[in-house]
Structure 1
Amino acid sequence: MSVKNKIAYFYDNDYTGYYYGPDHPMKPQRIAMTHQLVLGYDLHKHMDVYRPRLAQYDELTAFHSEDFITMLRDTTPELQKAHWDSYLKWGIEYDCPIFHGLFRFCRQYAAASIDGAYKLNHGQADIAINWAGGLHHAKKSEASGFCYINDCVLGILELLKHHPRVLYIDIDIHHGDGVEEAFYTTDRVMCVSFHLKQEWGGQPFFPGTGGLDETGEYQGKGYSLNVPLVQGIDTEQYLGLFKPIMSKVMEVFQPGAIVLQCGADSLVGDRLGMFNLTLEGHAEAVRFVKAFGLPTLVLGGGGYTKTTVARAWTLETAVLCDQVVEDALPQQTYLEYFSPEYRLNYNRRPSWPNQNKKEEVERIKVTLLQQLQQLQGAPGFAMKERPPDALLPEFVTEDEDQVHQRLKGYVKTHFEHNLKCVEKGLIDPYNA
């Protein structure tokens, strides 16, 4: 008889109010749309729901530089506009603008990943979910790719206090460069990234890293695995790589915990992505990782068609909860955004021809399996003196009635406007 997993789930209504800007593809409202579906399907009844606290300065500087965190804390949109050039060194520009509430947003999603790792460390949860997290491009002193604070790294650092080895898996269409860079010289963290890497319009696909030959340096040699793919890969090819590679990783590395970044921009129909993964195919990767039965921190990431993101992360929440959900979407605040299907599964024809040749895919798989084979077993690490755990306040938990009450009627002004426009047929909900 299987034992039911204890799942910690982090969410805050504040996410509906953060706004990168009218022309920016990153929309934090996708997290609220996901949460509404989670509630509509009653998935919250199978999880412990937590409101993220605000990460403290010392926690953020466990990875990021003090100057960088101070800049994020003190900068306003008005200051950035007046002194644009002075912020470029921090990566603060069009992709990573300063917007009202930015630092609070960073502190919330970072704390959720840290606290999720804490709960895994102490056996208070088997799986922790933070769909607001997964911002994997941020560097020590630089914002990058819509990411400011690298909560993936902060979560891994917390897990390393209790586990000699942590496995990071990234299924976002973009290479997880910030996480790989942070752990490139250590064998305590293995980073595995499945991503698009090709020239597009004369420019490399962002961030332009993640080649097959990027395997780590010094003590970390061989502990970075990159799976660079080209446009249009389908579910069958993708899982044909994912499953054997991850099985070998588990055999060789033997991690004590996993961080899984579930960027949804690898799904067919994403506004920025160029893969053809189906909803079920993306969820199958999550299901496969879950089956290893290790403490797992599950994070969000990319995803720029809001309805697709919400569908994917809702289905994956159901997978993690061992629940089956109906295809017909439940009644909830954002239902009109899911027209015309009003269903969990959506019909999107592949937007990109599959340019992944069978021979090349096989070569990538063989190369990576050989790289893993060359590693001399799981690296040992004597944890003589464990670092202190994060100094956390009491966790705030909410029962389902409180969750519904807090969400009732809670939609920010600009999002209310969009919803009304959708209902009147003035804008396309697919691209809203």
Structure 2
Amino acid sequence: MSISITAPTRKRVCYFFDADIGGFHYGPSHPMKPTRIKMCHALVMNYGLYKRMEIFRAKPATKREMTQFHTDDYIEFLGKASPSTAHQFVKEQGKYQVGVDDCPIFDGLFDYCSISSGGSMEGAARLSRDKCDIAINWAGGLHHAKKSEASGFCYVNDIVLGVLEMLRHYERVLYIDIDCHHGDGVEEAFYTTERVMTVSFHKYGEYFPGTGDFRDVGVGKGKGYALNFPLRDGITDQSYRSVFEPIITAVMEQYQPQAIVLQCGTDSLAGDKLGCLNLSMRGHANCVAFVKKFNLPLLLLGGGGYTMRNVSRCWAYETGLATGVELGEDIPMNEYYNYFGPDYKLDVRPSNMEDLNTPSYLNRMQEITVQNLRELGGPPGIGIQEVPRVPMFDDMDENEDEDMENPDDRRPQRLRDRKRMTLWDSQMALDDSDDEDEGGRRNKEDNKTNGAI
């Protein structure tokens, strides 16, 4: 096993992992396999990366925290739904698109969503409080979930929840999506605001979710702050890099974000079971390395990826890059070692798939995207304002406080109505944040582990 230093400046990296994530199962024939997160973690640990970063088990997200974006009734439904109770919620399943083939009801569904969302929110909180430079949550990146609807294997949108946490501390946040599929749920959530710019590189056409046309640029105050780069089948490392780097450079110049969220969906890798692009592991990881060079607070999240051995290879390699090292090509012994045969090498190589992204097509799309950026005329003029905080129990009398036996229950409706305000006009009025002096969400020492989880 060999590791070589690739960056002179070592970043403070926080890495979030919950061992329970591998115990969830969408179903035997479903392409989404949460086990891929454990496979990645096995590589991370056996390559020795735990020596170069802090490893945390995040506090699972509560219903209250999830309803900062999602509707109350939708989250309540997710909390009650299970295979044994599914017959009681037939109407709700149709309403929320849960229980269909893409988004089945499985044992522990809500706990799975809580783990995914908790890691992204806590990572965002630690970045916001300067507890780290890069935060990693490979269990996150579920970018298709909508406000009151599941979609594309995604139930709760951990990315939106993480960005909302960041918006309490940063004026402008940049979201970049390199998944093969369009990041529609995140784009939709921030389509009307200039405080978040969404940039998505994805396959477009007769392909899920069918959104992400280059003409979709946002509306109202958000006009111009949604950028979509539609790709065709088979794009190679060189072609991808030729558009990714100049566009992200232009975005940085025009938008001047204060923090970045990078969704690292690996279904854009060659050989993915559901993808149709042709990136190698290093071509995919180049996006991480390039974004890291801007030296802004960076939240790295997972996403799609359905060939498990390749997903785990890529995310382990990118974890190494985040810590400033390049992993050796020989897979170290680990509990999933046999999955990486017959060569037991780390690399994911491109195939001989034809690249339908001609230079003229890529140049035309790049010109359109850069022109849209120029029309912004620089970063939006958002004044520095203190983000209002909705008190948790401050405005209750003693009798009301006694009635709230479960601290995860939301406040009575009349109290929420009294504090209700328009999301953007109030500059993201978010709910309670424990241990404010220590960094947003709770990051107590008993959540932190040293070495193996």
TM, length-normalised to structure 1? 0.90
CA distance in 2, matches of 1:162, 1:346: 38
Alpha-carbon distance change, 346 to 229 in structure 1, aligned in 2, over 3 angstroms: closer
**Match of 2:94?**
88
Q: Which amino acid aligns with 1:393?
A: R
CA distance in 2, matches of 1:153, 1:330: 35
Preserved CA contact (<8 Å) 2:270 2:349: no
**Match of 1:116?**
123
Per-residue Cα deviation, 1:229-261 (whole angstroms, up to 9, x for no partner): 111111111110000000000000000000000
The within-5 A match list for 1:272-421 is 272-347=274-349, 349-350=351-352, 352-388=353-389, 390-391=433-434, 392-395=441-444, 396-400=447-451, 403=452, 406=453
Deviation, structure 1 residue 49: 0.2
The within-5 A match list for 1:25-424 is 25-81=31-87, 83-92=89-98, 93-198=100-205, 204-347=206-349, 349-350=351-352, 352-388=353-389, 390-391=433-434, 392-395=441-444, 396-400=447-451, 403=452, 406=453
Deviation, structure 1 residue 347: 4.3
CA distance in 2, matches of 1:286, 1:121: 20
Preserved CA contact (<8 Å) 1:187 1:379: yes
CA distance in 1, matches of 2:74, 2:383: 33
Q: Over aligned residue pairs, what C-alpha RMSD do you find?
A: 1.3
Q: Which amino acid aligns with 2:43?
A: L
Deviation, structure 1 residue 281: 0.4
Per-residue Cα deviation, 1:249-278 (whole angstroms, up to 9, x for no partner): 000000000000000000000000000011
CA distance in 2, matches of 1:394, 1:88: 38
Preserved CA contact (<8 Å) 1:231 1:274: yes
CA distance in 2, matches of 1:15, 1:122: 26
In structure 1, list runs of 5 or more residues that go unmatched: 199-203, 407-432
Per-residue Cα deviation, 1:275-318 (whole angstroms, up to 9, x for no partner): 00111000001100000000011000000000000010011001
Q: Which amino acid aligns with 1:229?
A: L
Q: Pick the aligned partner of 1:11 from 3, 17, 29.
A: 17
Deviation, structure 1 residue 81: 4.7
CA distance in 2, matches of 1:82, 1:161: 39
Preserved CA contact (<8 Å) 2:145 2:185: yes
**Match of 1:425?**
none
Deviation, structure 1 residue 85: 5.0
Deviation, structure 1 residue 15: 1.1
Preserved CA contact (<8 Å) 2:177 2:201: yes
Q: Which amino acid aligns with 1:49?
A: I
CA distance in 1, matches of 2:355, 2:94: 37
CA distance in 1, matches of 2:348, 2:375: 42
SS in structure 2 opposite 1:324?
strand
SS in structure 2 opposite 1:302?
coil
Preserved CA contact (<8 Å) 1:106 1:149: yes
Deviation, structure 1 residue 108: 1.0
Could you tell me the percent identity over the aligned residues? 48
Per-residue Cα deviation, 1:18-77 (whole angstroms, up to 9, x for no partner): 000000000000000000000010011111000121112211000000000000001111
TM, length-normalised to structure 2? 0.85
SS in structure 1 opposite 2:356?
coil
Q: Which amino acid aligns with 2:372?
A: Q
Q: Which amino acid aligns with 1:256?
A: Q
Q: Which amino acid aligns with 2:74?
A: F
Per-residue Cα deviation, 1:205-243 (whole angstroms, up to 9, x for no partner): 000000010000011110000000111111111110000
Per-residue Cα deviation, 1:323-366 (whole angstroms, up to 9, x for no partner): 1211000000000001101010144524x421112111110000
SS in structure 2 opposite 1:77?
coil
CA distance in 2, matches of 1:144, 1:40: 34
SS in structure 1 opposite 2:150?
coil
SS in structure 2 opposite 1:327?
coil
Preserved CA contact (<8 Å) 2:280 2:348: no
Q: Which amino acid aligns with 2:334?
A: Q
Preserved CA contact (<8 Å) 2:9 2:324: no
Deviation, structure 1 residue 78: 2.2
Q: Which amino acid aligns with 1:39?
A: M
Preserved CA contact (<8 Å) 2:81 2:109: no
